[in-house]
Amino acid sequence: MTDNPNRASWLRIDNLTKPAPVIAAMWEESQKRLGYVREFLKMPFEPDRLSLFQGYVNRLMRSDDCLLSGLERELIALVVSLENRCEACIITHAGAVEAYGMEKRNLNVLLANWRRAKLSERERALAEFASDLTEHCEMASENDLDELRDVGLSEAEILETVQIVAIFNATNRLNAGLGIKVDDGAHDALRKG
């Protein structure tokens, strides 16, 4: 099948053009925050399902009462996406990590091999946990949580961490399974950074 610019994915249906009000609000928020509307939001998901899913992501990543820092949350999302090789998510979260203050050279190292990036002890523990739970969830043990406790994470922060790892594994699989395109806006935003 040839690439259709009116499609955000491999599905043989065009993107939404007249979204329901709840999705239109998501488009407006994406445009305001990122400078573009994410392709994922253009998919013809049922409005109630998309709003529930995106609401959970927003609650974990952008609520005023998040426990982890913005950089920590985006680092977790980026490491999960790197391990899953989710192109659209890697580009988006790399831009967010940089926006939260990671120096461009360190971000480049992180994208090539996150294990060699300059990370604080706490950031490294979060990245290791995100990687291990993504790659080897069957091996998860209480010791994994102890490693997070050892770098100062509270029980509530650990719970938030696991939720972020879980939701971005789900997001990565939606993107991979549907062949969601990488947003041109995401590429542009990362190059400008």
Q: What is the pLDDT of residues 34-71, one digit of tens each?
A: 888 888 898 888 999 999 999 999 999 999 999 999 99
**Measured distance CA(77)–CA(73) in Å, rounded:** 6
Are residues 193 and 96 in contact, defined by beta-carbon separation less than 8 angstroms? no
Q: Residue for token digits 């999960």?
A: 80
**Which secondary structure element, helix H or strand E, spans residue 107, and what is its range?**
helix 104-113
| pTM greater than 0.95 | no
Residue 13 lies in a domain: no
Q: Binning pLDDT at 50, 70 and 90, where does residue 4 land?
A: low
Q: Hey, what are 174's tokens?
A: 């939606």
Whole-number pLDDT of residue 32: 92
Listed residues 62, 88, 116: the one ending a domain? 62
Residue with tokens 């509530």: 156
Give a yes or no: residue 14 inside a domain.
Answer: no
Domain containing residue 133: 70-192
Q: Look at residue 13 and tell me whether its pLDDT is greater than 90.
A: no
Listed in sequence order, the residues at least 6 apart from 84 whose beta carbon sits closer than 8 Å to its beta carbon are: 134, 169, 172, 173, 176
**Residue 1 pLDDT exceeds 50:** no
Residues 6+ apart with CB under 8 A from 35: 185, 188, 189
Enclosing H/E stretch for 49: helix 47-62
Looking at the structure, do residues 82 and 51 belong to the same domain, yes or no? Answer: no
Domains in the chain: how many in total?
Answer: 2
Q: Report yes or no: 140 and 132 within 8 Å, Cβ to Cβ.
A: yes
Given a cut of 60, whether residue 193 has pLDDT beyond it is: no
Cα separation of 120 and 106, whole Å? Answer: 12
pLDDT digits (tens, 9 = 90+) for 122-159: 999 999 999 999 999 999 999 999 999 999 999 999 99
Q: What is the CATH number of the domain that holds 92?
A: 1.20.1290.10
